[in-house]
Each structure stands twice: as structure tokens, then as C-alpha cells.
Structure 1
Amino acid sequence: MRSLKDFNQDLIRFLDASPTPFHAVTSMSKQLDAAGFTEVKETDTWVLQPGQGYYVCRNGSSIIAWRQPAVDAAVNLGWRLIGAHTDSPCLKVKPTPELHRQGYFQLGVEVYGGVLLNPWFDRDLSLAGRVSYRTDAGRMASVLIDFETAIATLPSLAIHLDRDANASRAINAQTYLPVVMGQTDEKPDFRALLKQYLEEQGVEQVETVLDYELCFYDTQGAAMVGLKQEFLASARLDNLLSCFIGLQALLDGGEAATGQVLVCNDHEEVGSLSAAGAQGPMLSQWLERILPDVDQRNRSLSRSMLISADNAHGVHPNFSDKHDGNHGPLLNAGPVIKINANQRYASNSETSALFRHLAEQVEVPVQSFVVRTDMACGSTIGPITAAELGVKTLDIGVPQFGMHSIRELAGSRDAHGLYKVLQQFLQTDQV
């Protein structure tokens, strides 16, 4: 089991290397490769060996990784699944984004997910994602790109021109958010600029850029902050933090008779309804390939459990009235069991009890979160996956501040604590 310091250093490297879901899945794939896992393609016939590790990707933005159990073990002991999501709220470049106003080159953006918009202003922004192009030979290809350096910004309007800004400025997503890329005398062609960039990066035979999925991100890297380095500050903690924790638990969990699975889906922030999302068929289709026999598959699921890991709202010292007085999770006080009577979270008394039992075994404290009764509750992939598969489920998360901001904050000890509990979960025969 890795030390807290080593764990957090690896976490920071992962966060910085993963500005988009595509990059996150690539980063996870590299770690799986290094650990001896084998990638299998959805287009191929799978020949799987018990005891071996495998992974499969869809759309380049969702991934399932697992250790293959023997069929009898899968049926009689079930699966231990950890679920998370790879996407985060952000600003995505529109298909025809070019704007030329007052001599400035700007790109129009769409808001992806429930973005906290104010913190996006006055940041050093870069651009990353996937670009699809046609080669000189007339074939289609795709490549991941990351400009890495600051190439854009979103300047605030000076308070002198809006004296009521601190009291009542509302952000119009259409008119306030076009990102400033630079100054020019002519309206640029964004696809032509991407073609030039690809060629400068050594991508050969690019005839024309056909399309792209690109999002802006803050170039400020992840860092430990606080007088005693109590906090981890970064973009995309929701929910790359859980992806990393689940991956490390799988990699360091060792062999077990039960099936060990990590599934990280894209598109959770916009409802999960996609081919690569949790409300799509990816996980069920994977399970059908692993256990084609319907009776065996259903028996296996009845002995299985999913832990849906997605960050929780820590109680903010300036806004403590936004929490139920008995359910305000503190940073660095342990992972949080998320509970909702209306099934916005999938936890129940049995799955919560098992988590508490496992946490006690590794001496990790546990907290609970229930939203105020007079407030609406968010949700996760937990209820979606539970409904799709019929598998018992627990919703948990690391507490954080600033959820859906361009820069979020979590406790520097909580991720490591959850990692220890999830290792125990992957080994347990009690479900």
C-alpha cells in the first residue's frame, strides 16, 4: 500500500495529464499497461484467462478495467465493482466558433454540464481534446491534442463599467463567454489553425480537419495548499479524483477470488444517456460477453456490489447553513456515505453497513451526507447503474469545496483513505 505522500504525488501527475476525458482514459490505460493489464477491443473476439487483468475502452472517453475470475467464482462470489466518471463541467468549442470583433479573435463556446461560471473569468486557459481529420490518402483519422500553454483568456468586465457587479451580475452564457484568443485584422479559420497545429506537432499527411471535440481548461496545475498542506487544489477533482482512487485500488488490490472491476463512464455531468455513459449499454454489454449464460449472469449479479464514487459537498465554513446540521462532511475527516430517501443516491442500510465495516478494518473514519430536506438533491451514476444492472449499490465520495468550479478543493488525506477502503472492498467475500 502506497504512502500518503507518494499517493498524492501520483494523483497530481494524473490530474495534470488529464485535461479531458480522452486524456484521462489515455492516462489510465498507460498505468494499466504498465501493471500488466491487456487491452481488448470491442471489435475483437475475447479469449480471457482467469487471473489476468484486462481493459476495454469506448469512444476513447470511457473505460472498464478488470481482473478476470474463474467462471465458477464469478457466479458464486460475484463482482466487486467501483464506478466513477471521467467528465467534468467545462466550456466546449462550438462547431463554427470563429468571432472577429473589435480586432479580437474569439471562439464561441457551449457550456457542458452544470458549470460554476464566475471562476472561469481571468484565468490562463489552454485547449485540449480530440481532432478528426482526413489524410492525404483520403482516410479518416483522429488524434488527441493539448496545447498545454496558455493560449486564451476570458477577461472580466471592469467594475467601473458595471458598478452593481458584486451585487447582481448574472452571466449570459451566449454573450459573456466567447473566449479571447488574440488580436488579428481578419477573421481566422479555426480548422485551418488546427491543421497547422497538427503539422507543427508532427502529425503527418493532414489534408483537412473535419471535426473536433475540444474544451478549454485552466493551465494552473494541481497543488497542495494550506498552512500544513491540508488541501489539494485542482481542476476536475469531480470526478477524476474518484477515477484515480478506483484505479489505484484495482492496481494495488492484488488477486482475489471475486471479480474486481473499475468502470469509468463519460457524460455523467449531462445525464449519462449516451453509448459511453452509465445510462447506455457499455457495462451490460461487457458483462454479457464475460458471462454469456443468462442464468449465470443473473446469479452473479445477485452476489455483486457496486460502489459509485463521486465527490460529496463538504460543509463550507462561510455557508454552513446550506447543510443539514447533522450531515455536514468535513474535509480530511474521511469518505462520505451519500444517502437520499428519494433514491437520488443508491445507498441502503446494507451497503452502507458493509462500507462502515470495511473502513473500520483499515482504520479510516466515515462520514455521511444527506441534503437539507428543503433543497433539491443531485445524483450520480449509482442509481443509474443500479437500475440498469439490478446490482446492489452504495454511493460514496470524498468531501470537497467548489464543486463544478474551474478549480476545486479537497482534503489532502481523504483520497488516500478512500483508496484503503476500496482495496478492502475488492478483496471482501461479504456482500
Structure 2
Amino acid sequence: MPKTIYGFSKLSKSEKVEWLLDTYFEDKTNARILVTQYWNSNEKLQKLHDEFIENTITNYYLPLGVAPNFLINNMLYTIPMAIEESSVVAAASKAAKFWLDRGGFKTEVISTEKIGQVHFTFSGDQNELKNFFTTIKPKLISKSAPITKNMQRRGGGILDIELRDKTTNLNNYYQLHATFETLDAMGANFINSCLEQFAKIFKEEAESSLNGDLDIVMSILSNYVPNCIVRAEVSCKIEELQSKDIENPALFAKKYKQAIDIAEIEPYRAVTHNKGIMNGIDAVVLATGNDFRAVEAGIHAYASRNGQYSSLTHCSVADNIFKFWIEIPLALGTVGGLTSLHPLVKFALELLEKPTARELMQIVAVAGLAQNFAAVKSLTTTGIQEGHMKMHLMNILNQFEATSAEKNELVEHFKTNVVTHSAVVEAIENLRK
């Protein structure tokens, strides 16, 4: 059957599914069962999910877990995490419990500025353009009032607009670089609407005021938000680090700092180090209906801001104090988008006691810091595979379709044996002989 199809988007969901089954699947019956069994039996809820994106055929589930005992600025939280990777929720929970008795996490929102840009080219005189911009800038802001009035009423809006000359990088290339405060909204739609309004007015006024061609290339927000920063940290006296798996706190603190120092100067380590941080961050961002791809892009750009990709977390050991902290850009929202539509997003936000965007920034930063603390603690003590593979054990058993009885026996067996894929396979085979 030919794989090209026209008018696919106009088909009903069932018709889309049947075309896919006819075109790509040998066992159409089992494929159909798989797709349809993930449809929600609540038709209203399923219709809501169908309308989130285009060409929906079914739902793709991720586990939603929780990590309790997070003490953040002297308030206790249970943090929701949507993620498929084994040991992430367990590691976050373990880190939360570790710091619960050591003062918890301290956080601070440093700034909340968002950025958008109108990209354009101009072939005329630079000084003439600069003078024109100075004249037109108040009009750009005032003519955007219908878009900004509701945001301004709540205390947000346009902060500033700058003309940026980028002609040394690209011939005739300039920007209108605008900054915004969007409060509890992530603000993408608001910012993009403002930018398109700027571009429209700028182009119209330029036609009668400037000599030379001015062409708008595009108007779009930036997901790089280096002035939308949150800080989270933990600290305690070195001797207070002592625990079941930290017998020598001074040695642990020394090795821990060395591990962070390596991640700060070695990109190959920094990428994996930061990926672990994002395990915690992405899981909470996804659970709360925010855009984890935007968050990822902005944070990784921030990790490269000094010309080399580096660790997002930092550590100091001085004056008998161990301190571990993170500063990251986070553009998040608690209103708009999926936050008011997806039932589990509403659930997650209520679980977090309906945080503001600033509060959510702090919670998410803590999740990333906790995840990283747990990972580096394992790396510098027991090694990371021991805990990770024990959490991964159930996935391996499910791959081999282990029965409940087999799972119970093998879980007990691996309480005192090292979990590796080959060891689990061997144990299953021996059990089934």
C-alpha cells in the first residue's frame, strides 16, 4: 500500500488509525488493541487530550510519581515528577530526606525578565536608523497597549525595547531586543503578540521615515532567559554530613568538591552531570504542564555562556562548611497553556499548594539540585550502578515477562546480590529450570 496520503488531517481518529494499521503493521489486530486500549473511557477527557495536538491517534503514558520531604525555605513539599527513568524519583526522595535534618533547601528568585526579538535587515545609514528608533520607541509601547493592558494591570508588561546593531556578525542585520515581565504566565503568546505589533508599527513608520530598505525577517520570543534566574542551595557543617554511607565526612566533602570541579572544567563530564540535573528539572516541569524543551534549551545555553559548556552546580568547602548550589534560568508559568486544561497538571499544582511562577521556579531548581546531589553522592561513594540497577531490576523482569511469584523471589535474591542485566537473565533462567 502506498505510504503517501493527502488529507490525512481531515480523517477521523479511527480512520487515521486504520490507515496506519493497513500501511505499516503486519499484525493489525494486536496493533489496534494496543492503540485503542490507551484511549480514555471518559469521552470528554479523551476529547480534551485529542485536541492538545494534531493528528492524535492515542495517549502515551508516563508514570507520575512523587518525592516527599522537601524542606524548601522552611516549608515542606511533596514534589510531583513525570518521568520514565528508573531511580530518578528515588534519588530525589533520598536527597530530600538527607537534607531534611540538615536545614533543608534555601532558594531565591534573582530576576524574572523574559526576552523577545524582532529580527530585521536595513540597508541604509546606521545613524539615521538609531535616530528613527529613538523617535519611534514610545509609539511602539503605546500602540501595544491593547495587548499589554491586562498584563500591566497585574503588574507586568513591557520593560524595555533596545535597538541592537548586529551588522558585524551579519550584513545589514539588526534587532529590536525587548524585555518583559509576565508574572505567573510563561508568557510566550503574550510576548509574541507584542513583538508582532512592534514589527508592524516599525515597518509602517519606516516606510515614510527612512531612506533604505527595511525588511522584517521574523518576530519571536527567546527561550534563552539569562535574566530570569533562580538560585537553590544546601549547606551544613562538614561533620553533619556523616550518615550511613558517609563514614568520613571530611573525605566525602573533599571528593565531592573534586567531582564538581571536574564537571566545571571538563565538557564531557559536564554534559552527563547536567543531564542528571535535568532528570529532576524536566520531571517537575512536565508534571506541571510547562515546556521542558524550552527549559532544556535555555539551561544548556546558560551552561555555555562563558564560552565552554560547564557544570550548572557548584560546591565550596571552606571554614568547616560544605555548600552546594545551583543558579539556572527558568521561564515557567502556573497560569495559561496546559496548566488550566490538563487534569493531572491541575492535580500537580494543587499538590504543590498552587504556587506562583516564582515559587515554582524555586521548587524546580531544588528538584534539579537534589537530583544532582544524589547522583554525585553515589558516584563518589558506592558508585552509581548499585542503586540504579536495583531500581532498574523491575524493568528487566518485565522484559522477560516474569510472573508475580518470580518477581518476588528475584527481588529478594537481588537484595544481597549485584544487579546487572546478565545476572538477572541468569537468575531467571535458573529459576525457570
Please, what TM-score do these two structures have when normalized by structure 2? 0.22
Tell me which structure has the larger Cα radius of gyration. 2
Bigger share in helix: 2
Please, what TM-score do these two structures have when normalized by structure 1? 0.22
Bigger share in strand: 1
Task: Tell which has more relative contact order, 1 or 2 (C-alpha 8 A, sep 6+).
Answer: 1
